Amino acid sequence: MLDVENLDLAYGDSRALNGVSLSVAAGTITSVVGGNGAGKTSLIRACAGMVPAQGGRIRFDGTDITGWAPHRICDLGLGQVAEGRQIFPSLPVLDNLELGAALPRARKAAKQSLEKVFALFPRLAERKAQRAGTLSGGEQQMLAIGRCLMGLPRLIMFDEPSLGLAPAVVKEMFAIIEGLHRDGMTVLLVEQNVVHSLKIAHHAVLLENGVAAMAGTGADLLADDRVRQAYLGL
Amino acid sequence: MILDQVVTGLLTGLIYGLLALGLSVIFGVMRIVNFAHGEMSVVAMYAAWAAARYLGLDPLLSLIPIAAIFFGAGYLLQRGLIQPFVSRPDYMQFILLISVALILTNGALLVFGPEARGIQVDYAFDSYEIGTFLIDKVRLLAAGAALTLTGLLLAFFRFTLTGKAIRAAADNRTGAQVIGLDIGKLYAVTFGIGTASLGAAGVLMALLNDAIPRLGPELTLLSFVIVIVGGLGSMTGALAGGVLIGVSEALAGTLLQPSLKSMFSFALLVLILLLRPQGLLGERS
């Protein structure tokens, strides 16, 4: 569904991605793991059109979206839950959600989408009038996910959804992602929490210094000695 | 007598508020300081004058079409000229907008000449007696129009999807990109709205003051003072700052001398910067 081919990306002189290829099949969870600075966030930002790629192609559902503006890519149904949540802190929760449905593709269904999001995250419904910046970290992550769902995505790219959350909330977050997948969502998951994200992944890619160093099923990577030594400390 | 002046200042201040709102909105959303702010509103004063002189239109009527034209001009100006500068260093934006200001001032000089152009409406000398107050009809109508427009703007930003999207882009630009808001378009709309407000304020000011090219820099400075006093980026702050400066000018003009009114405004600015640097209604960053 999302096909990345030989993607090159650099910020000035420093290369972030070097010929990375990756394929996310419809209805699966694909995990990209790797250390800090491996290029995981760059990969997502390039797919979302937020940074220009120097080389390679990105296709979503057969459409070549290389070089497209972010709002056009979003409107195809490629959603994103960004690193650091990126909510609108001074706007109420409800406005945050409503803006998620500002995309042309999602505007008509905004009302039903809101009901669905509130059913999924009742806590957001309780706090809908509250300024988003006053929510707890876990609640802000729920808001970021809910806001993304409001745009009726067909594939969601999650960037470090567990970062900075308490262990119990991390578990909840992975349960939410699995739940979305069960309901038919295609997921691209980028995580530093290697064990958790490999466990739920159908397909996984290890990114090291901007290069796709290894690919396989989640279980393959979990069983690999190199991954175990470098990322699991075993 | 003094209370009369307070009321006069308050009414003028409402127009100042609308004027400053234009500056505040543009800065608050895209962090660009419009150094051509006052010059643009002088163009609106001339437009109102020309509409009155050649078409016989009362400024309260020409207000709407002129504001609409200013919206379009601001939108196009942002798209064509300012957008490439949004992510450039401050000094480049500064030079760009100073150039626009100079072009507008000299253009006005070229087209309308150096002499003052005033509008005479037939109710210019009417006034209302309310209790012990004596209020100019012109000023009251202009202030009422300014307050209405300010209210509409605040409602737009609070209740419409586009208004919320603009606030969201100001709040978190990356977040706005993440959910697919078209930032370029929102910025152009914002610049259009800011330009329409300063245009509308210019038309209303043309009812109270003569248009003259050298008024531009004065109005730019006045708007800076108001926005800083009220709180940078705060819309209600712009309104409050406008009223405060309006009253302070009127009082200084009565109690001391009209020529000292700017000195009072700047003294107020210095006081605010010392005691409450974020401005009256601004938020500490």
Condensed to tens digits (0 to 9), the pLDDT of residues B152-165 reads: 999 999 999 999 99
B13: pLDDT confidence band, cut at 50, 70 and 90?
very high
Report yes or no on B258 lying in a domain: no
Report yes or no on B64 lying in a domain: yes
- The residue among A190 and B258 whose pLDDT is bigger is A190
Q: How far is B247 from chain A (nearest CA, A)?
A: 32
For B55-105, the pLDDT digits (tens) are 999 999 999 999 999 999 999 999 999 999 988 898 999 999 999 999 999
d(CA B136, CA B127): 4
Q: What is the pLDDT of residue A193?
A: 84
Which helix H or strand E contains B81, and what residues bound it?
Answer: none
Q: What is the pLDDT of residue A222?
A: 85
Query: Which residues does residue A211 pair with via DSSP β-bridges, in sequence order?
Result: A208
Residue A188 has pLDDT above 90, yes or no: yes
Report yes or no on B275 lying in a domain: no
What percent of chain B has a predicted confidence (pLDDT) above 70? 99
Average pLDDT of chain A, as a whole number? 91
Q: Is A27 left (phi over 0), alpha (psi -120 to 50) or beta?
A: left
Report yes or no on B146 lying in a domain: yes
Residue B1 has pLDDT above 80, yes or no: no
Q: What is the pLDDT of residue B284?
A: 62
For B166-184, the pLDDT digits (tens) are 999 999 999 999 999 999 9
Which residues are within 8 A (CB) of B58 and not within 5 positions of it... i.e. 6 or more apart? Answer: B52, B121
User: Domain A1-77+154-234 is in which class?
Assistant: alpha beta
Of the candidate ranges A6-15, A157-166, B252-261, the one whose mean pLDDT is the lowest = B252-261
Residue A232 has pLDDT above 80, yes or no: no
Domain interval for residue B66? 2-214
Measured between CA atoms, the residue of chain A closest to residue B183 is A71
Specify the number of domains making up chain B: 1
Q: List the helix and strand counts (H, then E) for chain A.
A: 10, 10
Residue A230 has pLDDT above 80, yes or no: no
Which residues are within 8 A (CB) of B220 and not within 5 positions of it... i.e. 6 or more apart? Answer: B35, B36, B37, B38, B39, B101
Q: What is the pLDDT of residue B117?
A: 92
Closest CA to B273 of B229, B239, B222: B229
The ipTM value here is 0.90
Average pLDDT of chain B, as a whole number? 92
Report yes or no on B155 lying in a domain: yes
Q: Which residues of A touch B183 (CB under 8 A)?
A: 71
Q: What number is the average pLDDT over the span B47-51?
A: 96
CA angle A215–A216–A222, rounded 5-degree value? 100
Report yes or no on B134 lying in a domain: yes
User: With the C-alpha atoms ordered A115, A121, A126, A129, is the resulting torsion angle positive or negative?
Assistant: negative
Q: Which residues of A touch B177 (CB under 8 A)?
A: 48, 50, 70-71
Residue B285 has pLDDT above 70, yes or no: no
Report yes or no on B236 lying in a domain: no
- For residues A161 and A191, is the Cβ–Cβ distance under 8 A? yes
User: With the C-alpha atoms ordered A73, A77, A78, A79, is the resulting torsion angle positive or negative?
Assistant: positive
Report yes or no on B223 lying in a domain: no
Residues of A with CB under 8 A from a CB of B: 48, 50, 69-71, 73-75, 80, 82, 86-91, 95-96, 98-100, 102-103, 147-148, 151
Which sequence spans correspond to the domains of chain A? 1-77+154-234, 85-152
Q: What is the pLDDT of residue B121?
A: 84
Cβ contacts below 8 Å, chain A against chain B, sum to: 67
Q: Which residues of A touch B174 (CB under 8 A)?
A: 50, 82, 86
